[in-house]
Amino acid sequence: MIEPLPDALIAPVVRAALAEDLGRAGDVTAQATIPADARLSAVFATRKAGVVAGLSCARLAVHELDPAATFEAAVADGEQAQAGTVLARVDANARALLSAERTALNLLGRLSGIATLTREYVGAVQGTRTRIVDTRKTTPGLRALEKYAVRCGGGVNHRFGLDDAILIKDNHVAACGSVGEAVRRAKAFAGHLMKVEVEVDSLEQFDEALAEGPDVIMLDNFGLPDLAEAVRRNAGRVVLEASGGVNLQTVRAIAETGVDVISVGALTHSVSVLDIGLDAA
């Protein structure tokens, strides 16, 4: 069971999206064609199979424009839904519901798409010890929601931002002069609750990093033989993360090298929106 995000975190995103859509005069089409007191019953339903995420976004979008609306979820975030599945039933002021429709579907469809793709990656490595994790390659303003969707799909979150873990990448190494020096500086800076990860692009850099004892070493664009060799040399001392060149065709072989985690930017930056519609009941 996935713990839903608090409404207080989602509501500002929903309000901003509604404000962008409603513009200066509101939904002029609804105003022109629908009586102000008309009501509409409808269902949110999938048109393709996928994993559901973001039902709270749809609920809040409707309630923002009609606080008296009823919104009854028929499934839970994280559930697999077949094509044609009713996700939620809603009864609301017709103008309000149709004005909220696109915002609700944009968020619900995108988050469900992320959850669906994540579930595919998780399924592809099933039976190995490897976990699938996301990255910071998220839509600006939607990071918390998109990382929540990854969890709905069975994935694990990497760091949320620049402030919750130290991740030394190639440009940091260049500025410091060496992998070892960068890790030493990071460990001296970090508090006792902050982890230190360093990215390396060769086995030589890997050995240099391992000698300094970071918490995590990211193996960037390593081939399969070098990944397996890094796992052998590591012997379980630090967490190993594989990154780069990961897709649904390659992820299984990467996992079988024995790495602990595989980070996949595509979970959030190259996802297809799950096709979900709002249909009058």
Q: What's the pLDDT score for residue 41? A: 98
Task: Say if residues 59 and 73 touch (Cβ distance below 8 Å).
Answer: yes
DSSP 31: H
Question: Exposed, middle or buried, 237 (CB in 10 Å: 0-12/13-18/19+)?
Answer: exposed
Q: List pLDDT tens digits, range 91-118.
A: 999 999 999 999 999 999 999 999 999 9
User: What type of residue sits at position 93?
Assistant: N
Distance CA 140, CA 125 (A): 29
Domain ranges of the chain: 7-118+272-280, 123-269
Q: What's the pLDDT score for residue 71? A: 98
Q: What is the CATH number of domain 123-269?
A: 3.20.20.70
Q: What's the pLDDT score for residue 281? A: 87
The CATH homologous superfamily of the domain defined by 7-118+272-280:
Quinolinate phosphoribosyl transferase, N-terminal domain (3.90.1170.20)
Distance CA 129, CA 99 (A): 46
**End-to-end Cα spacing for the chain:** 29
What pTM did the predictor assign?
A: 0.96
Distance CA 268, CA 270 (A): 6
Which residues are identified as catalytic? 102, 137, 169, 199, 220
Distance CA 75, CA 13 (A): 23
Q: Which residues of the chain have pLDDT under 50?
A: none
Q: What's the pLDDT score for residue 1? A: 76
Question: Exposed, middle or buried, 129 (CB in 10 Å: 0-12/13-18/19+)?
Answer: exposed
